[in-house]
């Protein structure tokens, strides 16, 4: 990997983490959008995109726990805490799936160009022409077929008319 690719991946993780903090409040679609954008920014393989999405989710979750809400009293809100934790664990997977989709869309060259009508092949481009077939001339006297380039019938010797 080049330095440019590594920096792009780190930026994608950072952007995904910041989006995760905000979009985690939208069920299922929020983490998918987060992963989609992180994977699209990374422009990497789908497998790497999945890890980028999951790492973005984990870093975003850690930011929520230690920076955004550090004063939660876990004894009083134990049930709410477990719901929050389980939802975030599920959201990590959705973020990873979104990142897979994002990296697939970013790495596929001209992803939507195959749907463009102006890019489709014309019918004459599809046909493959073979060698030219020989043309025969039928003798008016005996009915024998002769190659076009002969001036006389090979069977009876009658001059052949062309055209």
pLDDT digits (tens, 9 = 90+) for 1-24: 788 888 888 898 898 888 888 888
% of the chain surpassing 90 pLDDT: 0
Mean pLDDT of all residues in 137-156? 86
Mean pLDDT of all residues in 45-67? 84
Helices 3-23 and 46-63, axial angle in degrees (round to 10): 50
Per-residue confidence band for 110, with pLDDT thresholds at 50, 70 and 90? very low
Domain parsing of the chain, residue ranges: 3-115, 131-163
pLDDT of residue 71: 65
Mean pLDDT of all residues in 90-107? 80
pLDDT of residue 101: 80
Mean pLDDT of all residues in 32-46? 84
What tokens appear for 101 in the block? 């989709």
% of the chain surpassing 70 pLDDT: 76
């Amino acid at each position: 990997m080049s330095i440019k690719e590594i920096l792009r991946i780190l930026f994608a993780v950072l952007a995904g983490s910041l989006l995760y903090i905000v979009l985690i409040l939208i069920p299922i679609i929020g983490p998918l959008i987060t992963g989609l954008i992180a994977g699209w920014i990374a422009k990497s393989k789908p497998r790497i995109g999945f890890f980028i999405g999951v790492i973005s989710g984990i870093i975003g979750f850690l930011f929520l726990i230690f920076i955004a809400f550090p004063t939660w009293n876990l004894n009083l809100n134990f049930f709410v805490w477990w719901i929050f934790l389980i939802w975030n664990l599920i959201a990590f997977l959705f973020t990873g799936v979104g990142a897979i989709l994002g990296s697939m869309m970013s790495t596929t060259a001209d992803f939507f160009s195959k749907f463009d009508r102006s890019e489709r092949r014309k019918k004459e481009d599809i046909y493959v022409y073979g060698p030219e077939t020989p043309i025969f001339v039928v003798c008016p006297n005996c009915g024998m077929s002769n190659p076009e380039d002969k001036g006389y019938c090979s069977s009876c010797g009658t001059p052949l008319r062309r055209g």
